[in-house]
Structure 1
Amino acid sequence: MKKRIEALDALRGFSLLGILIANMLYFQYGDMTLNTIEPTTWWDNAAFYFTKIFVEASSYPIFGFLFGYGVILFVRALENRDLKTRGPLWRRAIGLIILGSLHIAFVWDGDILLTYGAGLIIIMLFIKRKVKTLLIWASVLAVLMAPILIFKTDVLALAGLEETAAVLADGTYWEVMQQRIGVVEGMPFIFVLISLPIAFCFIALLSFFTIGPFVLLGMAAAKTDFFTHIGTKTKLLKRLALLVPIGLVCKSFLYSDHFAGKLIYGAGTYLLALGYIALFTLIYLAKHETKLAQAFVSMGRLSLTNYLMQSLIFTTVFYGYGFGLFGKLGVAIGLLLAVAVYVLQLYISNLYTRHFSIGPVEWLLRKFVYLGNGRS
């Protein structure tokens, strides 16, 4: 049981690296499209296409898979202690929504916590469903969301982001905050109070549906105890790991002008995510006793705290109210900086978990979820 939990934590820690690398383009440029970034050197071009093909759109599904898996484990833990599940699940959703909203308002608008909090409300409808039902719905949702994945890049390219970039590069904290939450001068406060939360939740739900297939897949995997005795499943993992090169080939159609090419790219984002899950799990099983493997475990256990710290660090580095390096470092240096900060987080997380079993933000959310019922 311990290894199964540690394997999940390590995979969660690994997914944070991909999420950070993918987010770097948004931290640095306020956008993720080639039209906006326009790398001029071979190393920036290489870093840009590495991010787009190897990382972007294939890291969040991994986190979604783990989120779905974790929901089932969470429900089982409650049931094993003869506790009701409805209240804690709702409080977990509300807690994530509150954290996500605060993250968007005060730190960064590339938040995923609101997405998962809003999505958890929908997930509750599937918790008691059979594995077959979950897999069918995952497949249906993947097909329904295909247009969003296929045309995502085109939509982003059409968005007018010059004003946004200018505010992020030179604006004060208050100006950036207003831009982030969509407040314009003269807007009635009552309108902000009512409309913005609704808009945020709508966007969060739409975002959740794009990773929904992996959330449902994670729930199905948990119901089959996939990570229980995971060491006996190496043959299956090796087969799934073959999806890595297949996914990379598919994602190389990133800027194809043909519908078929866009469809292949969309499929590649999911295939690569599945391949990464299998490949990293295989590597972890082979190296789970090493210090590096344990550092990934520690990183995963503090995933919520580490995720929020990444936002605090990089908005301070790039935005005008911080060091003001927005759009100035280049994609390659930004990539190296992301890896450096991640390695530092690995080291600090490993030190932290020698003394504490849970991160500060995780502790706060857990207190809210259990409301004094404690946790074993």
Structure 2
Amino acid sequence: MPEQSPLDLPEGDPFGPHNLPYGVFSLPGDDRRRVGVRLGSHVLDAGAAAHALGSPYASLLAQPTLNPLLAGGRQTWSDVRRALTAWVTVPAHREAVEPLFHALPDVTLHLPFEVADYVDFYASENHATNLGKLFRPDSPGLLPNWKHLPVGYHGRSGTVVVSGTDVVRPCGQRKAPSATEPSFGPSAKLDIEAEVGFVVGAPSALGTAVPLSSFRDHVFGLCLLNDWSARDIQPWEYVPLGPFIAKSFATSVSAWITPLEALDAARVAPPARDVQVLPYLDDSDEDEPGGFDLHITVALNGEVVSEPPFAGMYWTAAQMLSHMTVGGATLRTGDLYGSGTVSGTEPHQRGSLIELTWNGTEPLELPTGKRTFLEDGDEVTMTAWAPGPDGVRVGLGEVTGRIGPARTTT
């Protein structure tokens, strides 16, 4: 019986021609990195396909990273996507592109773009309220500024890693509430943060703010993101300037970047706001809904522990981008910004272990044993889907990471 063609997908495959996320891969025995496009359980060598079909985008796609494509801008993104859709759907192209597919288990996936700057936000009201109650039990959950602006901090771009990269348990200073002095050692409260990352393509000029209406001119696509966090290091260091060592050791992203055009059917209105924002953040008159209806699943050692809904995020990706640049900061090709932990209103929708276990006081019961925070050897996997055209789901590339032991305790 002949092997099924990678172009013949089961009906409703979430990685069908309606999706076409981008990544970067290499082949066994060949270290060259190539731009790939996922179709079902295969990856198309996009540069080779463009060359075989005489496409004007051959040079752009024959690169070891997505950055040249990201820099091309919105019209180029749309044109390339239109061409790729034709290559995998038009019968006349079948003979040329069919040999250029590779099965996913046969390739190595790499960080798909060179990360320029990394910013992490705090855009879920439910998450911010929960952490406020845990970290500041004698104060209101939300600080006074939270509903006036998207709170965020600058992270460390050099420790953004691709899905599948092991995460070394970090060391740092910890101080228990009852202790008089801090101690040093491996984090005993290693946590996850289920997030969505947004990838910037077209840059902006220094001193020029990017308005809400220009979101799609600058943001190429999105991916799942896990911002690993050391919860025992975080509360001692984050006053008064915010997170540092507790969040600088690793941030995992999916190997696949989903273009915004693939998510047109998933756009939804954000939750109603009860505080009037300043004009540069006011999206009430925007033509396109600002939210994304993404359904995230978090599994710990193969057991589902959370299902956070991204549609409930208080601040939108466009508002985060607008606030990030309102002071005149530039956007650079390859900038990445995270949404902050996605948490819903229900206990099973909380996107971090510190919330799921209420800072360790309510352990999770798993087949592998009780868990409050992550132990060495634990593996966390995030998956997600969004509504697509005609009822078909759009799959997001997974992000996974396994915890390795600390490398120093001195």
Normalising by the smaller structure, the TM-score range is under 0.3
**TM-score normalised according to structure 1 size:** 0.25
Larger proportion of strand: 2
Using CA pairs below 8 Å that are at least 6 residues apart, which structure has the higher relative contact order? 1
**TM-score normalised according to structure 2 size:** 0.24
